[in-house]
Amino acid sequence: MIPQEFEYSAPGTLQEALQLIAGGERKVLAGGMSLIPMMKLRLAAPEHVVDLGRVPGLNYITESGGTIRIGATTTHHEIEMAPLVRGRCPLLAEAASRIGDIQVRNRGTIGGSIAHADPAADYPASLLALEGQVRLVSANSDRTVAASDFFLDPFTTAIEPGEIVSEIVLPAEEGSEGYRYEKLAHPASGFAVVGVAARIKKTGGKISFARIGVTGMAAHAFRALNAEKLLEGGATIDEAVATIGEGEEANSDLYASADYRQHLARVHARRAISVALTRAT
Amino acid sequence: MKQKISITINGKLRSDEVEPRLLLIHYLREVVGLTGPHIGCETSTCGACTVMLDGKAIKSCTIFAIQASGREVLTIEGLAVNGHLDPLQEAFWNEHALQCGFCTPGMILTAKQLLQDNPSPTEEEIRKGLEGNICRCTGYQHIVNAVKSAAAKAGA
Amino acid sequence: MATTTVKPETLVGKRIRRREDPRLITGTATYVDDIKMPGMHHACIVRSPQAAARIKGLNIKPALDRPGVVAVFTGEDVKDVPSVPCVAQLPGLRQPHHHVLAQDRVYFVGHPVAVVVATDRYIAADAADAVEVDYEELPAVADPEKALAAGAPAIHPQWPDNTAFTFHQEGGDVEKAFREADVIVKQRITSQRLVPNAMETRGVVADWRAAERSLTLYSSSQAPHLLRSLLASIFGIPENRLRVVAPEVGGGFGSKIDIYAEDMLMTFVSQRINKPVKWVESRRENFLCTIHGRGHVDYYELAAKRDGTMLGLKLKIIQDLGAYLQLLTPAIPTLSVLMMPGLYKFKNISADVIGAFTNCVPTDAYRGAGRPEATHGIERMVDILAAELKMDPAELRLKNFPAPDEFPFATATGLAYDSGNYALPLKTALDEVGYADLRREQKQGREQGKLLGIGMSAYGEICAFGPTPATPTGGWESATVKIEPSGKVTIMTGASPHGQGEETTFAQIAADELGVDIDDVVVLHGDTSLVQYGIGTFGSRGTAIGGTALYYALQELKSKIKKFGATLLESDEVSLVGGSVVHEASGKSVSFSKIAAEAYRPMKLPPNTQPGLVATHFWEPPNFTFPFGAHVVVTEVDRDTGQIAIRRYVAVDDCGKLINPLIVSGQVHGGVAQGLGQALWEQAVYDDNGQLLTGEFTDYAIPRAHMMPWIESSHTETPSPVNPLGVKGVGEAGTIGCSPAVVNSVVDALSHLGVRHLDMPLTPEKIWKLIQAGGRA
Ligand SMILES: Cc1cc2nc3c(=O)[nH]c(=O)nc-3n(C[C@H](O)[C@H](O)[C@H](O)COP(=O)(O)OP(=O)(O)OC[C@H]3O[C@@H](n4cnc5c(N)ncnc54)[C@H](O)[C@@H]3O)c2cc1C
Ligand code: FES
Ligand code: FES
């Protein structure tokens, strides 16, 4: 109900923020949609909170040379509504629109979501299917990590101490590609029991390119590489999705056992691919 | 350590010294003395605390008051203009979209953004737009009617 | 004298928007948490994280040492405070002493162990965290059937069989009926534990004034007078020095009838610190510590003739009571027994109830309280019988209803159903939904692998609780009507509404009876210092009983008005037209407002009449009322995932006369939402150690807007002869009718796979697994 006491800083520049974070046990606060509930339940009790909310230049959506860049504090709602994302990276807009509810989307940020790395979060599936990259900066470093190397375990990412996510880098889409984010929302939490993001390109009526990201099913989101290969190799959708989750240990909870969850991932993959296929031109 | 914040609440600027951990909902209720935003949970899932921050619906239980400093907060108390109810308030009343009324302030403010984003929503869009707000009394049907009727009035 | 205008139209029966709403839509209503008082302190309760444990050590010093903390109380401080009360009585009932703070043992997760009092809410929360409690874990049992099994850990060591009571009832000759039967169907049917989850959690502000030896207690209560009487006797505070106020109450659904440990604890704390103190429940606490509902395991056996004539019904109920008995806990399953025959002409029944203690929070009345369980059971059994007999479930129902001329209908459980035409809503609903066409579509669809289900329930319920001998809280209701000298009307009702809209419906009744403008009527409630005495709002009793008390109070006033009018007109040949008195022969009349003024400054009093226009009426109902109806639900089951989609929801309810159809439809929708919640999503899941796994909105799925179907709601109107308004009550109907119709629909969708029964909630995985297994569970 009530968070523990903490010290609060709201740096006015990125450099200042990075300096603060470099200074030891500091917790970054973005939209607060994951951090604050945990602090209220006293599952998190940071001593010092560094609010990114007032750092200018972290909230943007740009495109140049076929590359879309989204600043870390860009909110889910901004992403969902942005004409640029809707036009050039519609898969991400679709995923953003399925996150939580409007109040959560108004505050929650893409940087916060991927940094938090909830295994049932929505973005990771799309980020993987889009072969996106995550830019990580610290007071004295600046590096870019592929999404496929970013999500490591539940609530665990490639972010090193002192680093923050500064932007997400995605390829802009040319327009012929079909896409779909298919989500089964948990009836209570709204998070993804499973969520499947699919991108499909067709050549001569056949699937020539497939990218499939799966979230909710396992410890972290993953790309269904075998299924992608099978689809590109001319296999049926059913044959391809039957490989999804092989080798992954499926999550299990009151709502869905591991078997059922794996099955759901396949069903939703089939649906995502089918819709993506009809959208592809 | 307390810090100074200044927030424009329902059109009036005020300043207070607050602990950084003070949640906006508690600030509004306990410090400012408002009674419209309610507390229905501690997991950011019920929407009873919904207010508008710079024109967008947010859950005031999931933001520190200090984060709202320098910004504008609108609560249900500030929605009526010169004593004239907002069309949504009027529609909630006409359509019997509330029973115990506990969810109502949050529901109305969420609906406000819903209509800002989408002035003529379908039933399905209304239902989806209100998914962050729980009402245990009404079964939502009259709420859907109210939002539809407010949208129709605005469109007329 | 002026000629009066007669009010042309009546308000009763109209869709009138509510008069309570302006304060609610502007956020200016006052709920308990909105109350602030000078010097008010805040309490935070330390609760047990264990379901069963011995308290080995308790260190409050770290909490007391924190600045702003004024007191910490533990079990030792309150050991002499009497038990949290249970007013339900059953022969041989074992009632554990329910201390307001745990003594040396805790019995469920959330059990209060200590209370921290501080100057501020945040300080109190920090201090509560600082209290150190050393627990020695004991074996726990959370499942009622496991609790009753041999060798189960004893919840209360003095009663190793974990049985609080057993209860038996029978009517007719059930053994004979079973001997004569052609078919007997049996089924175990559960009604899972549910969390009422009113959106406003509970809250208490206690304000003890030592100098006046008086207490004012603000509590989010459905029954403030009951709370006052019980607190008065518990604390020895005279009732005339104890004021209980239920301010705006944000929903209750039964969960706020109870007197809770916290009502008592805050009284205790305020007396100790001599300051007002506030406690507001968190949602987590609400999940853990406010009563739950349902918690039944039922074993049914139904005996019938091959032609479908139902002969006899046997029922064994295992009621999960939780660790303690709250206000009405043991009485709830006895209501299920009363309602077990449903709407059918059973002559022979027998029922056994076993009340089992578990290491869980107590169960008690939650929307429907005992009747949803019974209705769910019988409506499932009827469908199971229909399947066995290969009969259409609608036909089977129609065959066994009493005919409209058989009312009052005496049930084998000893009730007298007041009035009814049970076939009408069922036929209406089936017509509306297009039953025959759907059955055809179902048949064709099955050939293509589609899973379409059509399910129905024909429900009855016991409402308007109730005659006092059958209602442990008292069964009457009261109303005072005061016509002010200005002609404005003030009603004080003992019903304590919290969303049901009585400020409007009662004003409608009064406006019609007195011929005044509805805006001239104010309805007050919820404050024991304003209201004479009252029972409260629960069991769909507000309008049927409270409204009737109002009606009779109004009649008393009307006859007094007539007397004043006769005196003013100097004739006995007068009649009342609305609130005016008219001398027909001359056409002269006196207006209502003139009479109101005259009554307080009479130049000449009518014979045997006192000045003033105030009347109080306490009305004791002669019987319950028995609303009924039928719900028909069309579902589609996704073969791939087991997800259920509701295609149509048709509800035809008969709650007697409708005072305000707008309000009634709101009650139906809300009721259906809670019924659907039970059917599809909601469940309080305790693990084997008594930990509540679904203890937040993030785990416990409450229906949200996008999860609800459109409800096609309509009514038939069979007036109740029990009260002059002809109303029956509607608060619980939607819930009761809903869950069996939904489950019957899904079972119907899967019946060709051999599925005969499903327990709630119908989670997709459960359905998917059944489909995978070809229907065989
Ligand atoms: C009711 C509700 C429903 C939700 N439903 C969904 C859902 O359906 N799907 C879904 O995907 N999510 C859901 N969420 C989570 C939501 O998307 C959050 O916004 C997101 O998980 C965290 O983003 P944030 O900006 O709020 O981060 P915060 O809560 O501020 O931070 C989360 C974590 O990330 C760290 N962090 C934040 N920003 C950065 C950064 N730039 N660099 C490094 N670390 C950083 C913080 O230190 C913290 O550890 C829901 C949340 C709520 C409250
Ligand atoms: S109080 Fe429930 S979401 Fe804020
Ligand atoms: S009106 Fe009671 S919760 Fe919505």
| 8 Å CB contact between C468 and C474 | yes
Top pLDDT among C191 and C470 is at C191
What residues contact C323, with CB distance under 8 A and at least 6 apart? C96, C107, C108, C111, C155, C156, C357, C358, C359, C360, C361, C362
How many helices (H) and strands (E) chain B has is answered by 5, 5
Does residue C7 lie within any of the structural domains? no
What are the angstrom distances between the C-alpha of C159 and each of B32, C323, C663?
53, 12, 47
What are the angstrom distances between the C-alpha of C356 and each of C105, C144, C459?
19, 6, 28
How high does pLDDT run on average in chain C? 92
- Structurally, how many domains does chain A consist of? 3
d(CA C655, CA C626): 8
Q: Are residues C506 and C419 located together in one domain of the fold? A: no
Q: Are residues A163 and A71 located together in one domain of the fold? A: yes
| 8 Å CB contact between C17 and C508 | no
Q: Indicate yes or no: CB of A8 within 8 angstroms of CB of B129.
A: no
In this prediction, residue C540 carries a pLDDT of: 62
In this prediction, residue C724 carries a pLDDT of: 83
- What amino acid is encoded at C696 in this protein? E
Instruction: Examine the fold and report which residue of A171, A196, A211 is the final residue of a domain before the chain moves on.
Output: A171
Q: ipTM of the predicted structure? A: 0.97
Q: Are residues C432 and C345 located together in one domain of the fold? A: yes
Does residue A1 lie within any of the structural domains? no
Q: Are residues A207 and A270 located together in one domain of the fold? A: yes
CATH of the domain spanning B87-155: 1.10.150.120
Q: Are residues C300 and C283 located together in one domain of the fold? A: no
How many helices (H) and strands (E) chain A has is answered by 12, 14
In this prediction, residue C686 carries a pLDDT of: 97
- What amino acid is encoded at B11 in this protein? G
What residue spans of C311-415 are helical by DSSP H? 332-339, 371-389, 393-400
In this prediction, residue C461 carries a pLDDT of: 86
CATH number assigned to the domain comprising residue A67: 3.30.465.10
What is the location of CATH 1.10.150.120 in chain B?
Answer: 87-155
Interval A125-134 mean pLDDT: 98
Both structure tokens of C577: 């037209």
What are the angstrom distances between the C-alpha of C708 and each of B105, B128, B130, C507?
21, 11, 12, 32
Distance C124 CA to ligand 3 centre (A): 29
Residue B49 beta carbon below 6 angstroms from any ligand 2 atom: yes
Does residue C725 lie within any of the structural domains? yes
Q: Are residues C504 and C612 located together in one domain of the fold? A: yes
How far does Cα B118 stand from its chain's mean position?
17
Tokens 């040319």 found at: A174
- C133: closest CA among C200, C52, C54, C64? C54
Q: Which residues of A touch B1 (CB under 8 A)?
A: 7
Quickly state the pLDDT bin for C5 (edges 50, 70, 90): very low
| Backbone CA torsion sign across A243, A245, A247, A252 | negative
Instruction: Examine the fold and report which residue of A119, A147, A171 is the final residue of a domain before the chain moves on.
Output: A171
Instruction: Examine the fold and report which residue of C289, C314, C344 is the final residue of a domain before the chain moves on.
Output: C289
Q: Residue A93 above 90 pLDDT?
A: yes
Does residue C171 lie within any of the structural domains? no
What residue spans of C542-689 are helical by DSSP H? 548-569, 592-600, 661-676
Q: Indicate yes or no: CB of C710 within 8 angstroms of CB of B133.
A: no
Residue B96 beta carbon below 6 angstroms from any ligand 3 atom: no
Q: Are residues C211 and C82 located together in one domain of the fold? A: yes
Our mutation pick for probing the ligand 3 site, out of B95, B102, B144, B147, counting the most ligand atoms within 8 A of Cβ, is: B102
Q: Are residues C699 and C663 located together in one domain of the fold? A: yes
Both structure tokens of C9: 């139209």
| Backbone CA torsion sign across B38, B43, B46, B49 | positive
What are the angstrom distances between the C-alpha of C4 and each of C7, C521, C575, C586?
9, 19, 13, 14
d(CA A206, CA A199): 14
Quickly state the pLDDT bin for C536 (edges 50, 70, 90): low
Does residue A128 lie within any of the structural domains? yes
pLDDT tens-place string over residues B120-147: 999 999 999 999 999 999 999 999 999 9
Distance A33 CA to ligand 1 centre (A): 5
In this prediction, residue C457 carries a pLDDT of: 97
Interval C280-294 mean pLDDT: 97
CATH number assigned to the domain comprising residue A274: 3.30.390.50
Our mutation pick for probing the ligand 2 site, out of B26, B45, B130, counting the most ligand atoms within 8 A of Cβ, is: B45
- C580: closest CA among C588, C591, C564? C591
CATH number assigned to the domain comprising residue A22: 3.30.43.10
CA max distance for chain C = 88
Closest ligand 2 atom to residue B50 Cα is 4
CATH number assigned to the domain comprising residue C533: 3.30.365.10
Q: Are residues A141 and A44 located together in one domain of the fold? A: no
pLDDT tens-place string over residues C82-141: 999 999 989 999 999 999 999 999 999 999 999 999 999 999 999 999 999 999 999 999
Query: Residues for chain C: how many in total?
Result: 777
Asked if C284 has any chain A CB less than 8 Å from its own CB, the reply is yes
pLDDT tens-place string over residues C310-353: 999 999 999 999 999 999 999 999 999 999 999 999 999 999 99
Q: Are residues A139 and A47 located together in one domain of the fold? A: no
pLDDT tens-place string over residues C47-73: 999 999 999 999 999 999 999 999 999
How high does pLDDT run on average in chain B? 96
Does residue A2 lie within any of the structural domains? no
Interval C688-715 mean pLDDT: 96
Q: Residue C259 above 90 pLDDT?
A: yes
Closest ligand 2 atom to residue C283 Cα is 2
Q: DSSP of C506-523, one letter per residue?
A: HHHHHHHHHT--GGGEEE
- A190: closest CA among C362, C698, C168, C495? C698
Q: Are residues A114 and A203 located together in one domain of the fold? A: no
- Structurally, how many domains does chain C consist of? 3
Top pLDDT among A246 and A1 is at A246
Point out the residue among B20, B43, B132 whose CB comes nearest to the CB of A103.
B132
In this prediction, residue C10 carries a pLDDT of: 86
| 8 Å CB contact between C176 and C387 | no
Our mutation pick for probing the ligand 3 site, out of B38, B95, B138, counting the most ligand atoms within 8 A of Cβ, is: B138
In this prediction, residue A3 carries a pLDDT of: 94
Interval C463-477 mean pLDDT: 75
d(CA C107, CA C84): 14
d(CA C40, CA C275): 6
d(CA A166, CA C253): 49
Both structure tokens of B131: 């998914």
Interval C382-407 mean pLDDT: 96
Both structure tokens of C20: 């309570």
Q: Indicate yes or no: CB of C27 within 8 angstroms of CB of B77.
A: yes
| 8 Å CB contact between C554 and C511 | no
In this prediction, residue C4 carries a pLDDT of: 42
Q: Residue C268 above 60 pLDDT?
A: yes
Interval B49-64 mean pLDDT: 98
Q: Which CATH architecture has domain B3-78?
A: Roll (3.10)
Q: Are residues C264 and C344 located together in one domain of the fold? A: no
Q: Indicate yes or no: CB of A8 within 8 angstroms of CB of B20.
A: yes
Interval C545-565 mean pLDDT: 90
d(CA C13, CA C518): 14
How far does Cα C569 stand from its chain's mean position?
49
Does residue C10 lie within any of the structural domains? no
Tokens 């041999």 found at: C150
Half-sphere exposure of A26 (CA within 13 A, CB side): 24
**Cα-based angle C167, C173, C178 (whole degrees, multiple of 5):** 100
Q: Are residues A67 and A140 located together in one domain of the fold? A: yes
Does residue A56 lie within any of the structural domains? no
The range of the structural domain enclosing residue A262 comes to 178-279
Q: What percent of chain A has pLDDT over 90?
A: 94
In this prediction, residue C77 carries a pLDDT of: 97
Instruction: Examine the fold and report which residue of C619, C654, C670 is the final residue of a domain before the chain moves on.
Output: C619
Q: Are residues A25 and A125 located together in one domain of the fold? A: no
Instruction: Examine the fold and report which residue of C578, C595, C619 is the final residue of a domain before the chain moves on.
Output: C619
Both structure tokens of A46: 């940071």
What is the location of CATH 3.10.20.30 in chain B?
Answer: 3-78
Q: Are residues A110 and A150 located together in one domain of the fold? A: yes
Asked if A56 has any chain B CB less than 8 Å from its own CB, the reply is no
Both structure tokens of C290: 């406010």
Q: Are residues A29 and A92 located together in one domain of the fold? A: no
CATH number assigned to the domain comprising residue C269: 3.90.1170.50
Q: Residue B116 above 50 pLDDT?
A: yes
In this prediction, residue C493 carries a pLDDT of: 86
The range of the structural domain enclosing residue C114 comes to 32-138+201-249+256-289
Q: Are residues C485 and C433 located together in one domain of the fold? A: no
pLDDT tens-place string over residues C563-577: 999 999 998 899 898
Q: Which of A93-97, B26-30, C512-516 has the lowest mean pLDDT?
A: C512-516
Q: Nearest 5°: phi and psi at A3?
A: -70, 160
Residue A53 beta carbon below 6 angstroms from any ligand 1 atom: no
Q: Indicate yes or no: CB of B67 within 8 angstroms of CB of A6.
A: no
Q: Indicate yes or no: CB of C708 within 8 angstroms of CB of B141.
A: yes
Per DSSP, the three-state class of C449 is coil
- On the 0-12 / 13-18 / 19+ scale of CB atoms within 10 A, B33 is exposed
Strands C348-357 and C310-322, bridge-based pairing: parallel
pLDDT tens-place string over residues A184-239: 999 999 999 999 999 999 998 899 999 999 999 999 999 999 999 999 999 999 99
Strands C644-654 and C711-715, bridge-based pairing: parallel
